[in-house]
Structure 1
Amino acid sequence: MRKNPYPAVQAPRSWKPTVLFWIIAALLLLVMIPFAIAGGFGMVLFILGLIALLTGLYAWVFKRRSWVGLPHRKSGGVVAVAGFLALIVGTGVVGATAAPGGDAAKKASLLESATPTPTPTPTETSPALDPCATEGATREYDGVTFVCALGEEDEGFMWLSQEDADRYAAERAAAAKAAADKLAAEKAAAAKAAAEKAAAEKAAAEKAAAARAAAEKAAADQVAREEAARLAAEQAAPPAPPAVPVAPAPAAVYYPNCAAARAAGAAPVYQGTPGYGTHLDRDRDGIGCDK
């Protein structure tokens, strides 16, 4: 297939705003608003001319479509020239509108420098809460009497109104009274506990003494009962036989046993009679060979 020697002529594209166009346009609008407020129409014209000049130069030098969408170098050159002219006109307008104001501001500054500034009179401030040294000292301010007194907690002496000074003094007195009452209550509780302990110890001692007395009485009663029983037993026992006068026995008489004593006709053998011996008196009642 043969190529067409005549390239097809492209139809010129119509201009359509791109996303980049709207972004840059919005940014330029935001930048121009404060310049318009500060410099008026001349400053707006100056900014627009500067933007048009830079945009046209970009399209003319680099042969590319700018953010505005200029199609070729010729249109870029036209926009650059128009921007340059607007830049010059805007500069003139800004200079024309700023000159009178500048002179006026300069004159005003000269007048201010020539006019002597009066020395400000120092204004007395309220002494409230300022530190002070002498307790009970007073000071007047704006019809109010301030007293040098102790403030809250450990703030030290300071200038207080009479009402505040009385309130702080009342609070300190109440706190001191509460502390004293608490100390007195603690002492009373300690004294009560000590008294209760002493009473308990006394009751325990009395109980122990009563127990000892009861034990001693029981022991005494037991001894008395034993003694009474012993006496009754002694009284109930038969009386001992009357003592028989005993003459000293001759040493020659001796009975080896009761059989010998009986054979000799001496049984029973009484203590103190001839032949008596303990070997004959087994029950030790003073009479031998009586059984």
Structure 2
Amino acid sequence: MTNNPYAPAVQKGRWKPTVLFWIVAAIVLLVLIPFAIAGGVGMALFILGLVALLTGLYVLLFKRRSWVGLPHRKSGGIVAIAGFVALILGAGVVGATAAPGGSTDKASLASTSQKSATATPSATPTNPANSACLTAAETRKYNDQTLICTSGSDQRLVWMTEADSKRVVAEKAAADKAAVDKAAAEKAAAEKAAADKAAADKAAADAAAAQLAAEQAAAQKAAAEQAAAQQAAKQVPAAPAAPAPVAPAPAAAYYPNCAAAKAAGAAPLRIGQAGYRAGLDGDSDGVACEK
């Protein structure tokens, strides 16, 4: 509350629970029930005291009504003190209920330590299989047996008897040798395939080169022959031209039959020549008296 004389007077009346009250009360109840079940009355008293202490401090510090409707700082201080007392009492009850369990634990611990102190101090051999195997080929004795630290199939070091260790080592050596042999065989096969491919490529290249050389030789030979023929043609004298036949005068060439035309030396007669007529051309091919 403020000391302003001009502030409107606060009407005092019966307090009524607000919505905030019911919300906070529900939250406190939900928190209180499981703690009370787990810790009993002391834990419930502790939770209630903590809520009351926080509520009273809120009123004292902020000078405002809390969720339970405390009207002024005086009531807030009273609630805070009551909450603090309840908090202390609840903590005491919780500690008192937990003390017997602690004493029981101390008693059991003392009895255990007493038993261990009175136990026979004779050392018993421990099975190496229960301990870690860290160094390969390390050996230990247990019950008249020799155990050897051996790498298993999963590459983990484990304790094995001498016979099992020798068997596993032999199997691993055989497997390693088989893997090496397989790798070597695959490498040799790959190298052979590469060599075969290289030889085939070389043979194909040689065949192509031989074919090209043959074609070039044939072309050179043909060119040489053509040059020789041209040279020979230049050296041979040209044959004299045959005299052109003197065509008979087309004046009154008439042959009554092919015998007359042959006798005159005019056969055979071609169409357009003097003395040619269709009567002498029996097959009408344009040439008369050709036989």
TM-score under structure 2 normalisation?
Answer: 0.47
Structure having the higher Rg:
1
TM-score under structure 1 normalisation?
Answer: 0.47
